[in-house]
Amino acid sequence: MKQKTTSLSAQKRTGNVVLNIVLILICTVWIVPTVGLLVSSVRNRDAINTSGWWYVLPHREWVNTRTFDAPTGTADAPVTIEGATATFEQFRDGVTTGDGKRLKWEGNRRLGTIQVEELQWTMDTKFTLANYERVLAPTDARVKETLRDGSVVENSGEDIGPAFLNTITVAVPATIIPILIAAFAAYAFAWMNFPGRKLLFAGVVALLVVPLQTAMIPMLRDFVGLQINGTFLAVWLAHTTFGLPLATYLLYNYISQLPRETLEAASIDGASHFTTFLRLVLPLSVPALASFAIFQFIWVWNDYLVGLIFLGGAPSVRIITQRLVDMVGTRGADWHLLTAGAFISMLLPMAIFLGLQRFFVRGLLAGSVKG
Amino acid sequence: MQSSRQLPSSNDFNAGKLLAGLALLGVVGFLLVQGFLLLRDGNLPKLANAAVAIVWGVGGVAVLYYTLNLMVESLAQKTRMALQPFVFIGPAALILVWFFIIPTIRTAILSLYDRDGEIFIGIQNYITTFTDREMLLAVRNNLLWMVFGTTFCVGMGLLVAVLADRSRMENLVKSIIFLPMAISFVGAGVIWKFIFYYAPEGAPQIGLLNSIVTSFGGQPQAWLALIQPWNNLFLIVVLIWMQTGFCMVTFSAALKGVPEELIEAGRIDGASERRIFFGITIPYIQGTIVTVTTTILIFTLKIFDVVQAMTGGQFGTDVIGTQFYRQLFANRNLGAGSAIAVVLLVATIPIMVYNLRQMARQKTM
């Protein structure tokens, strides 16, 4: 009997080890893309273009240990250098000797040097903030960049800062306005009686799944008619509209669960609905409000389509996701700029997310777990 | 709270309050219009503009509620009781009806008109849509997204949730898997484009995937461009990377809700772990599985950002979302764009009906 329990717990322990290994593997796959972006964004252009970002990790690489002049006066015949015999062409591509060295002929046949290289453990840890400097610098700035051969070039900046600011301008009101409107509506659905209540709520639930593309074209035409297309007002209205069903639904779930006695007590004390809402319901609903606020803020911050359609592409109102897509278009393979730009665009939502993860998760759950 | 604070006059009509409310409404309206003109036409510096916009937008809405409520509270009790709910619900209802419900109907009507929305052409747009080769390709790709994207997100989410639930590293694992949720699809597009980056053979492979492939002696591939239709799957990987976290967190919460006694009872009856999982756990969290699956299904149906940011719909990676955008902006064809939007809407109706029935059954109202 005792034997059996030991073997069972041993089995369990092996199971645990396997389980943790599987989890670590999955987590590695999940975190590597982000790490790759971050690491690349602080490497200089040459480094990014000639070696993968993982070269910052310890790896074995041929490192030059000695250089001497190549023998001259040889024709096409093979030559023997340092005990290795090969033709010029072979030396040019690199010849590995028996003792683990590699000989490389640099320069031409008549005038060249022999590089003696050895495999060594190295790490490429030359990091720089130059990419960020250039991405943030205004377009008329001349940002100096030193190339590998020592020459200095001047580049214009990418001026991503205004787009960052525009996104804040879009995201803050587009977070607070729908929450405010939804909180009032959720209170009415939960604690007030009025004709059409059920029908309206069914409408909210139905709208939860309606794709926003469905409403976009007429909305766009109305905004053009009101002459607000391309202004922040248009995009706030759009985000408010598209965020409202979920906000109302989530906040209703929360506000309708508040203890009836507390609200009734307030009403007996003569508090009006408005006072009850302001003084009692809003403070009690802070967790739900915060959850949805974080959720909506990250959603709006990361939005591309709504901004694209209702703000248009004018540089003065361009948001960060648009700016990034533009950069992908114009700077397709300039990974030193793209990675820095992408990281700047992710900075705020990631910070909020890591700092307030608990709220964020709760907000998600309120919407999707029934019960 | 003291009951003596109740004002006797609050039951009667209060003309002063109404007038004050009206006056305030006028002032607020004036300020909002001025603020609007300033924002629309003014040339404020960026930072000032942002600040004005925030104060104008948020403050405006708050003050509007306050004013409307002030006016309603000036009325006699009976009228007030009848009207007050509409102050609370009114703005939400107005916005949803004006900007969401009516536009949806107008989209449906517009889909029966020509490219400028002027000449009635019946179902011609739908015929064109469903015979257009590009559109059919987009529909096929969307189906790939919905099938593979949803299956893998839900599957991986459930797997990680179950595994993490038994591990001591649970919180760390969940944070790592969940983190991509905070990244925009455009940002994720850059991240993954870099991973799929292709350099010709012989050149240094700085894209992770090709580097792995060549280190095993393979040929570098242009993953996003060449191997159609499999390149769609490489785009779907980005969705899986981003949305598995959502599924995992939701499942994780549901798993914590499975009563320990049920599982204990299963163990005492001698059921194997696998039996317990499929016989007890899965049925218990069935509702959550359905909710998560439908959420991801709708998400993949509407997919746009990833494709637009990574391939722009080139190389046979178009989806309905990018087709919609192209009809609307590149082709300036309102009718065709509307028809595509209606197709999207119709595809969501089964889920909508399911949700409404769930709501009716739960009698939450």
pLDDT by residue for chain B (365 residues), tens only, comes to 344 444 444 566 777 778 888 888 888 888 888 887 777 766 666 667 667 777 877 788 788 888 888 888 888 777 887 888 888 888 889 889 888 889 999 999 988 988 887 888 888 889 888 888 888 889 999 999 999 999 999 999 999 998 888 888 888 888 888 888 888 888 898 888 888 888 777 777 778 887 787 878 777 777 777 777 788 888 999 999 999 988 888 888 888 888 888 888 888 888 888 888 888 888 888 888 888 898 898 889 988 888 888 888 788 888 998 988 888 888 888 888 899 999 989 988 988 898 888 888 876 55
B100 to A207: CB separation less than 8 angstroms, yes or no: yes
- Work out the number of other CB atoms within 10 angstroms of the CB of residue B228: 12
Tens digits of residue pLDDT in A339-369: 888 889 888 988 888 888 777 777 666 655 4
Residues 6+ apart with CB under 8 A from A114: A67, A68, A69, A70, A81, A82, A91, A103, A104, A105, A106
- Residues of B numbered 59-118 whose beta carbons fall under 8 angstroms of chain A's beta carbons: which are they? 61-62, 65, 69, 73, 82, 84-89, 91-93, 95-96, 99-104, 106-107, 110
Residues of A in contact with B69 (CB under 8 A): 274
Contact present, B53 and B32 (Cβ < 8 Å): no
B167 to A361: CB separation less than 8 angstroms, yes or no: no
A370 to B291: CB separation less than 8 angstroms, yes or no: yes
Tens digits of residue pLDDT in A246-279: 899 888 888 888 888 888 888 788 778 888 888 8
How far apart (Å, rounded) are the C-alpha atoms in residues A322 and A319?
A: 5
3-state helix, strand, coil in chain A (%, to 5): 60, 15, 25
- Write down the residue that tokens 């597009």 correspond to: B189
- Read off the tokens for B119: 């000449």
| Residue B143, burial from CB neighbour count under 10 angstroms (0-12, 13-18, 19+) | middle
Q: Enter the DSSP assignment of A69.
A: E
Residues of B in contact with A253 (CB under 8 A): 364
B197 contacts chain A (CB < 8 A):
yes
Q: Which of B107, B189, B190 shows the shortest C-beta gap to A214?
A: B107
- Read off the tokens for B2: 């003291």
Tell me the pLDDT band of A173, cut-offs 50, 70 and 90.
confident
Residues of A in contact with B355 (CB under 8 A): 205-206, 208-209
Which pLDDT does position B285 carry in this prediction? 86
A369 to B348: CB separation less than 8 angstroms, yes or no: no
Contact present, B87 and B73 (Cβ < 8 Å): no
Residues of A in contact with B270 (CB under 8 A): none
Tens digits of residue pLDDT in A278-294: 888 888 888 888 888 88
A104 forms bridges with which residues in the sheet? A115
Tens digits of residue pLDDT in B200-228: 777 777 788 877 878 787 777 777 777 77
The predicted complex's ipTM stands at 0.84
The amino acid sitting at A270 is G
Tens digits of residue pLDDT in B81-111: 788 888 888 888 988 988 888 999 999 998 8
Burial of A86-100, coded b for 16+ CB within 10 Å and e otherwise, reads: bebeebbeebeeeee
How far apart (Å, rounded) are the C-alpha atoms in residues A317 and A164?
A: 10
Question: Strand A152-156 vs strand A142-146: parallel, antiparallel, or unpaired?
Answer: antiparallel
Selected for mutation to probe chain A from B181, B193, B235, B349 (highest A CB count within 10 Å) is B181
Contact present, B136 and B130 (Cβ < 8 Å): yes
Q: Which residue of B has its CA nearest to A304?
A: B305
3-state secondary structure of A193: coil
Contact present, A117 and A66 (Cβ < 8 Å): no
- Read off the tokens for B48: 């000032």
Between the alpha carbon of residue B360 and those of residues A205, A209, B365, the distances in Å are 11, 17, 8
- Write down the residue that tokens 């023998």 correspond to: A71
A116 forms bridges with which residues in the sheet? A66, A103
Q: Which of B156, B207, B352 shows the shortest C-beta gap to A206?
A: B352
Task: Summarize the confidence of residues A49-62 as an average pLDDT.
Answer: 77
How far apart (Å, rounded) are the C-alpha atoms in residues B170 and B197?
A: 33
A27 to B173: CB separation less than 8 angstroms, yes or no: yes
A244 to B57: CB separation less than 8 angstroms, yes or no: no
- Residues of B numbered 260-289 whose beta carbons fall under 8 angstroms of chain A's beta carbons: which are they? 287-288
Residues 6+ apart with CB under 8 A from A207: A245, B96, B100, B101
Burial of B63-89, coded b for 16+ CB within 10 Å and e otherwise, reads: bbbebbbbbbbbbeeeebeebbbbbbb
Contact present, B217 and B124 (Cβ < 8 Å): no
A80 forms bridges with which residues in the sheet? A85
Contact present, A229 and A185 (Cβ < 8 Å): no
Selected for mutation to probe chain A from B2, B39, B61 (highest A CB count within 10 Å) is B61
A269 to B189: CB separation less than 8 angstroms, yes or no: no
How far apart (Å, rounded) are the C-alpha atoms in residues A294 and A283?
A: 17
Instruction: Reply yes or no on whether the pLDDT at A7 is more than 70.
Output: no
Q: Which of A180, A212, A245 shows the shortest C-beta gap to B62?
A: A180
B89 to A200: CB separation less than 8 angstroms, yes or no: yes
Residues of A in contact with B187 (CB under 8 A): 302, 321, 324, 342, 345-346
Tens digits of residue pLDDT in A291-341: 888 888 988 998 988 998 898 878 888 899 988 888 888 877 788 888 888
Name the residue with higher pLDDT: B190 or A81: B190
A192 to B179: CB separation less than 8 angstroms, yes or no: no
Residues of A in contact with B210 (CB under 8 A): none
Residues of B in contact with A336 (CB under 8 A): none
**Cα dihedral B146, B151, B152, B153 in deg (nearest 10):** 80
Average pLDDT taken over every residue of chain A: 81
- Write down the residue that tokens 């608990």 correspond to: A358
A302 to B186: CB separation less than 8 angstroms, yes or no: yes
B299 contacts chain A (CB < 8 A):
no
Q: Which of B101, B184, B294 shows the shortest C-beta gap to A302?
A: B184
Selected for mutation to probe chain B from A209, A224, A320, A347 (highest B CB count within 10 Å) is A209
Question: Which of B145, B16, B10, B8 is closest to B73 using CA atoms?
Answer: B10
Residue A354: half-sphere exposure toward Cβ, Cα within 13 Å: 10
| Residue B118, burial from CB neighbour count under 10 angstroms (0-12, 13-18, 19+) | exposed
Which pLDDT does position B10 carry in this prediction? 53
How far apart (Å, rounded) are the C-alpha atoms in residues A349 and A352?
A: 5
Which pLDDT does position B42 carry in this prediction? 63
| Helix or strand (DSSP H, E) at A219 | helix A213-225
Q: Which of A271, A273, A321 shows the shortest C-beta gap to B184?
A: A321
Sign of the dihedral defined by the CA atoms of residues B26, B31, B33, B34, in that order: positive
3-state helix, strand, coil in chain B (%, to 5): 75, 0, 25
Sheet holding A59-69, edge to edge: A59-69, A112-122, A101-107, A95-96
Nearest chain B CA: its distance from A365 CA (Å): 6
Q: Which of B82, B186, B288 shows the shortest C-beta gap to A324?
A: B186
Which pLDDT does position B135 carry in this prediction? 87
Name the residue with higher pLDDT: B4 or A47: A47
| Residue A282, burial from CB neighbour count under 10 angstroms (0-12, 13-18, 19+) | middle
Task: Summarize the confidence of residues A36-56 as an average pLDDT.
Answer: 81
Nearest chain A CA: its distance from B229 CA (Å): 23
Which pLDDT does position B50 carry in this prediction? 65
Residues of A in contact with B156 (CB under 8 A): 26
- Residue A149 has φ and ψ, to the nearest 5°, of -80, 10
- Residues of B numbered 28-47 whose beta carbons fall under 8 angstroms of chain A's beta carbons: which are they? 36, 39-40, 46-47
Which pLDDT does position A74 carry in this prediction? 59
How far apart (Å, rounded) are the C-alpha atoms in residues B337 and A261?
A: 52
Question: Which of A141, A129, A138 is closest to A159 using CA atoms?
Answer: A138
Tens digits of residue pLDDT in A95-146: 777 777 788 777 777 777 887 877 777 777 777 887 888 878 787 777 777 7
